[in-house]
Structure 1
Amino acid sequence: MPPASPALPTVDTGLAWNHRFADLGPAFHTRLPPTPLPAPYPVAHSPEVARLLGLDPAWLATDDALQLFSGNALPAGGDTLASVYSGHQFGVWAGQLGDGRALLLGETEQGLEIQLKGAGRTPYSRMGDGRAVLRSSIREFLCSEAMHALGIPTTRALCLMGSPAPVLRESVETAAVLTRVAPSFIRFGHFEHFAARGQTTELRQLADYVIDRYYPACRTTPDFGGNAYAALLQAVAQRTAELIAQWQAVGFCHGVMNTDNMSILGLTIDYGPFQFLDTFAPSHICNHSDTQGRYAFDRQPSVAYWNLLCLGQALHPLAGEVDTIRAALQAYPRTFQDALARRLQAKLGLSSPHEGDEALVQALLTLLAQDGVDHPIFWRRLAHAVDSGDFSPVGALFSNRAAWAAWLLSYSERLALVDKALAAKLMLKTNPKFVLRNHVAEQAIRAAARGDMAPLHTVQRLLAHPFDEHPGHDAWADFPPDWAAHLAISCSS
C-alpha cells in the first residue's frame, strides 16, 4: 500500500482497518486522496452508526473528525480509493462509470466499509466535479437512517459535514460530504464492467470475493449441481426481491434504478431523486429527469428484474448455460410475490394468510388509487381504527364513501377471524407514523441552509423511531402543504 499523501495530515480514529476490497488489485480501483473542503462545519451525525463502527459518538464532535470526514485528512491505516464499474442507465448501456465522487476509506474490523461521498474528483468523474451538495446530502443522511429504522436494508450514514464552497447544479449551491457505511458498496455494475470488457479472470475474482465474503452458502448448496455462481445469482435475486417488496409496501420510490445503483447485497443504495408517496398513485414518477417514466413506482418490481437479467448476463461466463441463469432468476418473481403479499397482509393486521386476502388487498389498493388517498396517513389511521373500533377518521379520507363502506364491510368480516388487539399491535408496528416525505426533508434543508440545524435534528429523532407517536410532533406527520406539490427532485445532486 503506498504511503499517504504528504499534502494531507492523518487522523488516528482508533479503528483497525482491513483492505480486502483494495487487495483485489488495481483493475478494480484507483488509489487517490480526497480533495480538501474549505471551512467545513458539522451538520449531523448518527450516534448509533458511530457505536456500530466502534467509535465514541462524542469523538465525532472533535476537529479531528471534522477534518477526516470532510476530506481534509486521511485515516491512519486507511487506504482511500475509488472503484470502477459500468452499467445501464435508464435502460441504455452507459459503459464505464465508477465512483465519480466517492472514496472508500477502508473496511473496519467489524466488516463495514466507510466511504466519503462528495470528496472530490476521481478518474471516474467524467464531466462531474466530484462534489455533493448540502441539499441532497441531507436527504440521503436522513433517508439512510430512516430506512434502517423501518427495517429496510440500506446503506447507513455516519455523519454529514457542510462547507460554504459553491457548487453549480441547476443553481449555485453549497458543498457537503456525507460519510456512509455498508458491508459493501459493490453493485451489479461492477460485474457488468468486467463482463463487457471480456475480463473473465477479474470477473471470476470479483464473484469469488463476493461469494466468500457475503454468500458463503453458495459454495455448499446442492442447487444447480453445486454451481456457486448460479447460486450467487439466485441469492442476489432473492435479496433484491425482498428489498423491492419492502419498498412497494412502504410506498418508497427510488427514482433512478440503474444497474450501477443496485447493490449486490440487496441494500437500498444511492439515494438521489427518491420519494415516499404522498397520495397513493401507482404510476407516480418521483424523478423529474425520468421523462419516460421508466422508474415510476409501479414499475420498480419489473425494473429490478430487468436489472437482474443484466447481472445474469454478466455472470454468464461463470454460471454456464442460459437455462441455468433463467432458473436462478426465477427466484425473483416467486420471492417478490410472496414477500409483497406477506407485507401487505401485515399492514392490514393479518399475520397469516386466508382465502380471499389477495382480493381484499387488491380491492383496497384500487380504491386508494382511485381516490388519491394519502398513503402514510391512511395506513396509520387504519391501524388506530382497528385498535379503537372507530373507522370514521379513515372514511374521511375517501370521496367515494360507498366504495369505502363496501370494502370496510369485507375487511370487518376478515378481522372477525383474528384477535383485533393483536392485529392492531401488528399494524402499529408495520405502518409508520413518520416517513421522510419531500416536504419534511425540504423544511430541514431550508433551515440548514440558514444555519439552523434544529429542524434537521428533530426530523432525525422522529425518523429513528417512526412507529412511535412522539406527542407534540404531529405536524411532521401531517398532510403535505400546498407548496410541496411544486417540489421537483432530479438526478442532480
Structure 2
Amino acid sequence: MSLLAEDTDVADLGLRWKPGFQTLGTAFLTHLRPTPLPDPYWVGHSESAARELGLPADWRQSDTTLSALTGSLPIADTNPFATVYSGHQFGVWAGQLGDGRAILLGETESGFEVQLKGAGRTPYSRMGDGRAVLRSSVREFLCSEAMHALGIPTTRALCVTGSDARVRREELETAAVVTRTSPSFIRFGHFEHFSANERYDELRALADFVIDRHYPECRAAERFGGNAYAALLEAVSERTAALMAQWQAVGFCHGVMNTDNMSILGLTIDYGPFQFLDGFNPRHICNHSDNGGRYAYNQQPNVAYWNLYCLGQALLPLIGEQEVAIAALESYKTVFPREFERCMGAKLGLADTRDGDRGLIEGALSLLAKEQTDWTIFWRRLSQHMAGADAQTVRDLFADTAGFDAWLLLFSERHATVPQALAADLMLATNPKFVLRNHLGQQAIESAHRKDFAGVATLLKLLETPFEEHAGQDAYAGFPPDWASSIEISCSS
C-alpha cells in the first residue's frame, strides 16, 4: 500500500510514474517519507534537466512543487523509499551502508529515477542526520549539470531547494535538498551487499533487473559461453573505462571513489569533494580527508579497476568461475588507454589518432606537469591558436619557452596534413572555456548563504554551454586567485 494513501494534500508534478526498483521487494529497500523542512525556497534549477524529465513548462510556478521537492509534501502516485547497499570505503570493507540521506521517489515513464538528496534520516543513516547542507548541494547541482554539458556520463540535478533549518557539520550550516535524476542509482555496492551476505537469490534478482533494464544485449552475448552475468561485468567495465578516460581528459577529480560511489551504468555519481584541476599536478588530491592520496587524480583509472574487481568478486556466485570473471574485466585494460588516447587526440584536434600520437600526448602532459600549468587555460588557448590566435598566448603560460616551442613544432608538424579549420572546430568543441573551479563554486555558495542566488544562475548558464565564448564573462574563465588553493573540500556534507 502506498504511504500516500491517507494524504489529502499531495503535489502533482505532471509526471507519470511506473514500477521500477521497488519491484525487487523489501529485501532491497525500505519505504518511508521524506522529513519536511520549514519554509523552503528555490536556490537553483535546471530547465535542461526539467525538459529531459518531461516536466511541464510552468513546473516551478507552484508552491506545492517547491514543498514537494524539499520533501515537505507528498507527490502523487509515488511511494518513496531508500535502498540498502554495502561497499569498500578507502579500500576497506565498510559493511552495510545504504541511502543515508537520499530518498527515491520512483521512476518516471520516461525512464528516469527521481531522488531527493538531503531529505532526512533513513534506516541506513547510521549516525548521520540524513540532511545535506547548502554548500555541498550547490556544488553537486552545478557540477552535475556541468558534466552533462561537457558530454560526460553523469547523474543530473533538477534543482536545489533550501531552508533556514540548521544542520551541524564542522559548524552550523543551513539545510538544502538536491533533486537528482538518473536512469538508475544502482551502485557496485548494491551487488556487494547481497554477495557478502550470501543472499544469492537477491543477488541474482538484482543482476537480472539491471540486465533486463539496462544491458539487454548481455542476454544474447556469445562471449563467455553465453554467461549473461560475465557479459554484464564486461559491459560495466567498458563503460567505466570510457568514463575514466573522459574524467582524466577534462581534468576532473572525483575525490571519493568508494565502491558505493560507483554507478553500475558508468555514470559520474555522488559529487562530494570533487575538483577540476587548476594547475596540472598529476598527483593532485582534491579530498582533504584523503590523507593517503588513494583518490589522487593520477590514481583514478587504477582505482576504477580495483572497484571493478570488487564488483567481479560480488558477481562471482553468478558468473561461476573466477577465470571467467577475470576475463570479463580484461577489456578495461584495452578500453581505457584507447579511449584516453581518443579523448586526448580530440583535445589536440585529431579526429583519428596514429601510432605516433601517443608521444605527442605524453609530451604535452610532461610539459604541463613540469610547471603545473593551468590545465583548462592551456587547452583552450591552444584551441584558439589553432583557430588563428598568436601562439604567444600559449607560450606565455610557460617559463620553459624552449621546451614549449619544441613541443609546438611537433604539434604543428602533425597538423601539416590535417585541415586547420576542422582541427580548430574540434578543439574548440572539446576544450571548454568554462569549468566549475572550486573558487567559482565557493563564490556562488557564499552569495547563496546571503540568499542571493544570481551567482548560482550565472554560473549554471556558463557551465551549460562551456564551449561558447560568452562575451563579457572572461572573469569566470581566468586563472584562479591565490586564495583558491586554500579551499578545503572534504567528505563532510
- In the superposition, the TM-score normalised over structure 1's length comes to 0.99
* Structure-1 separation of matches of 2:31 and 2:136: 26
Using a 3 Å threshold, how does the CA distance of structure 1 residues 8 and 244 change in structure 2: closer, same or farther? farther
- Which amino acid in the other structure matches residue 108 of structure 2? T
Q: Name the counterpart of 2:260.
A: 260
CA distance in 2, matches of 1:326, 1:438: 38
8 Å contact from structure 2 (residues 273, 489) kept in 1: yes
**Are 1:114 and 2:114 matched, yes or no?**
yes
Match of 1:284 in 2: 284
Check conservation: 1:434, 1:477, Cα contact below 8 A: yes
How far apart in 2 are the matches of 1:356 and 1:472?
40
> Superposed, which structure 2 residues align to 1:381-400 within 5 Å?
381-388=381-388, 390-400=390-400
Deviations 1:374-405 (A, max 9, x none): 00000000000011152100000001111111
Residue 97 of structure 2 aligns with which residue?
Answer: 97
Contact 1:44 1:160 in 2 (8 A): yes
1:210-221 alignment, distance < 5 Å: 210-221=210-221
Is this contact kept in 1: 2:119–2:131, CA < 8 A?
yes
What CA distance in whole angstroms lies between the structure 2 residues aligned with 1:332 and 1:177? 35
Tell me, in whole angstroms, the C-alpha distance in 1 between the residues paired with 2:175 and 2:323.
Answer: 49
Which residue in 2 is equivalent to 1:251?
Answer: 251
Distance 1:59 1:351 in 2: 41
Q: Indicate the larger mover: 21-30 or 411-420.
A: 411-420
* DSSP-derived class of the 2:153 partner: coil
The answer to whether the 8 Å contact 1:191/1:311 transfers is: yes
Matched residue type, 1:261: N
What is the distance in 2 between the residues matched to 1:16 and 1:410?
A: 56
Name the SS for the 1:36 alignment partner.
coil
Structure 2: segments with no counterpart, 5+ residues? none
**Displacement, 1:52?**
1.5
Partner of 1:168 in structure 2? Answer: 168
Q: Which moved more, 1:3-12 or 1:438-447?
A: 3-12
> Corresponding residue for 1:75?
75
Q: How does 1:318-467 map to 2 (within 5 A)?
A: 318-388=318-388, 390-467=390-467
Supply the distance in 1 between the matched residues of 2:379 and 2:423 (Cα, whole angstroms). 13
* 1:11-160 to 2 correspondences below 5 Å: 11-160=11-160
CA deviations 1:167-196 (Å, max 9, x no partner) are: 111111100000000000000000000000
Check whether the contact 2:251–2:277 (CA below 8 A) recurs between aligned residues.
Answer: yes
The corresponding residue for 1:179 is 179
CA contact 1:8–1:74 (8 Å) conserved in 2: no
- Give CA deviations for 1:200-224 in whole Å, capped at 9, x if unaligned: 0000000000000000000001111
- Separation (CA, whole Å) in 1 of partners of 2:260 and 2:474: 38
Aligned 8 A contact 1:288 1:489 in 2: yes
- SS of the residue 2:143 aligns to: helix
Q: What is the distance in 2 between the residues matched to 1:312 and 1:354? A: 33
> What does the per-residue CA deviation read over 1:114-145, in whole Å, with 9 as the maximum and x for residues that have no partner?
00000000000000000000000000000000
Residue in 2 that maps onto 1:193:
193
Percent identity for Structure 1 against Structure 2: 63
Give, in angstroms, the shift of residue 253 of structure 1.
0.2
Q: Which residue of 2 aligns with 1:272?
A: 272
Q: Secondary structure in 2 aligned to 1:335?
A: helix
Superposition deviation, residue 293 in structure 1? 0.2
Q: CA deviation at 1:2?
A: 3.3
d(CA) in 2 for partners of 1:54, 1:403 = 52
Query: Does 1:483 find its partner at 2:488?
Result: no
Q: Cα distance 1:360–1:68, how it changes in 2: closer, same or farther (>3 A)? A: same
Structure 1, unpaired ranges of 5+:
none
Letter aligned with residue 125 of structure 2:
S
Residues in 1 aligned to 2:320 and 2:256: alpha-carbon distance in whole angstroms: 30
Deviations 1:260-307 (A, max 9, x none): 000000000000000000000000000000000000000000000000
Q: Is the 8 A contact 1:131 1:175 kept in 2?
A: yes
* 8 Å Cα contact 2:253/2:275 also seen in 1: yes
Q: Is the 8 A contact 1:8 1:73 kept in 2?
A: no
Aligned residue for 1:423, secondary structure, equals helix
**C-alpha RMSD over aligned residues:** 1.0
Deviation at 1:324, TM superposition (A): 0.3
Deviates more, 1:383-392 or 1:209-218: 383-392
Residues 2 and 78, structure 2, Cα contact 8 Å, conserved in 1: no
